[in-house]
Amino acid sequence: MNSGFFLSPPNYDSPAELKSLLETLGFAMQKKFGQNFLIDKKTRENLISFLTLDKGTRVWEVGPGLGAMTYLLLEKGVHLTAFEIDKGFISLLKKFFLENSKQNFRLVEGDVQKNWLPYLREHGKPDVFFGNLPYNIASDLIASTVEAGVVFDTMLFTVQKEAAERITARPDNKNYTAFSVLCSLFYECKIVKTIPASAFWPQPNVESAAVLFKAKKEFAEYKNFKLFIKIVKALFSSRRKNIKNNLGSWMKSNGYGDKIDLVLERSGLSGNLRAESLALYDFLLLSDIIGHL
């Protein structure tokens, strides 16, 4: 490893060395943070290859852990900001990278779900948002960026395969959810790599997948963004119910009265359809119609 760092990082390919390091320093694995280390070097390098990285490219990394991906990113000469919540990892990351990489490396301590937006407002958006996301925060973090109306040029996240299938699902697919619709508003989403559990230590109980998000060159038009999000969630509130029942109930509860038939008539959509059959345009159309009532 590069001796230019303050303390040489471990052999990221060796579970035995990682375990020894953690035990020597008295670190306990925090299951609540969903900690699994990507020990397969080819997979790590493959993930980096999906990104366009030049010297000075601004990158955010979520959950760097012991810094396996951090090391590769800094080797590319990027300006890296890492978000880490685990205090033990924070202390190691400082020793591995911060001492001699101050111009290219920043460490934001704490919960990324609370920190990312304030940090963005102060420092601006990165060119790339990247991370092997802990399974317990993946969907919430991605959804929070969309619901904040913040669009990143490129995002690459490794998530639980089930979450990846929801992100990339299209209408009339069992994995198609409100989350799928939100992701499709701003991004073209594609699973670029499936990663077996054996690539991680400790091994998770599920497969993972890397999802590449590329910002659309043109976004679909919408009149009221917050209303659109509410209506998408309302339409998926009960998958077995049709859109007339789900949307009608939401409208009554939110001050729009008993106007569901009028909305459906104007939209040209059958009330017997279910949300999983609607395309992005249909959700936008319904929200615009309701917004004009």
Are the C-beta atoms of residues 283 and 228 closer than 8 Å to each other?
yes
Highest mean pLDDT range out of 83-87, 218-222, 226-230? 226-230
Is the confidence at residue 102, as pLDDT, over 80? no
pLDDT at 34: 55
Q: How many CB atoms lie within 10 A of CB 29?
A: 14
Say how far apart CA 123 and CA 116 lie, in whole Å. Answer: 10
- Here the tokens at position 278 are 């609607």
The residue type at 91: S
Is the confidence at residue 33, as pLDDT, over 50? no
Q: What is the mean pLDDT of residues 254-269?
A: 97
284 by DSSP, 3-state: which? Answer: helix
pLDDT at 54: 95
CATH 1.10.8.100 in the chain, residue ranges: 225-291
Query: Which residues fall in the annotated binding site for S-adenosyl-L-methionine?
Result: 36, 38, 63, 84, 111, 132
Q: For the domain made up of 15-215, give the CATH fold.
A: Rossmann fold (3.40.50)
Q: What is the CATH number of domain 225-291?
A: 1.10.8.100
Q: How many CB atoms lie within 10 A of CB 171?
A: 16
Q: What is the mean pLDDT of the chain?
A: 93
pLDDT at 121: 98
State pLDDT tens for residues 125-184.
Answer: 999 999 998 777 999 999 999 999 999 999 999 999 999 999 999 999 999 999 999 999
Q: What is the mean pLDDT of residues 37-54?
A: 97
The share of the chain scoring above pLDDT 70, in percent, equals 94
State pLDDT tens for residues 226-259.
Answer: 999 999 999 999 999 999 999 999 999 999 999 9
Which pTM value belongs to this model? 0.92
pLDDT higher at 25 or 207: 207
Q: How many CB atoms lie within 10 A of CB 121?
A: 10
Kindly report the length of the chain. 293
For residue 241, give the nearest of 207, 267, 277 by alpha carbon.
Answer: 277
Is the confidence at residue 25, as pLDDT, over 90? no
CATH 3.40.50.150 in the chain, residue ranges: 15-215
Lowest mean pLDDT among 27-31, 139-143, 197-201, 273-277: 27-31
Before 202, cis peptide (omega within 30)?
A: yes
Query: Which residues fall in the annotated binding site?
Result: 36, 38, 63, 84, 111, 132
pLDDT interval class at 83 (50, 70, 90): very high
Q: What is the mean pLDDT of residues 27-40?
A: 70
For residue 189, give the nearest of 197, 179, 202, 200 by alpha carbon.
Answer: 179
pLDDT at 30: 53
Under DSSP, the state recorded for 95 is I
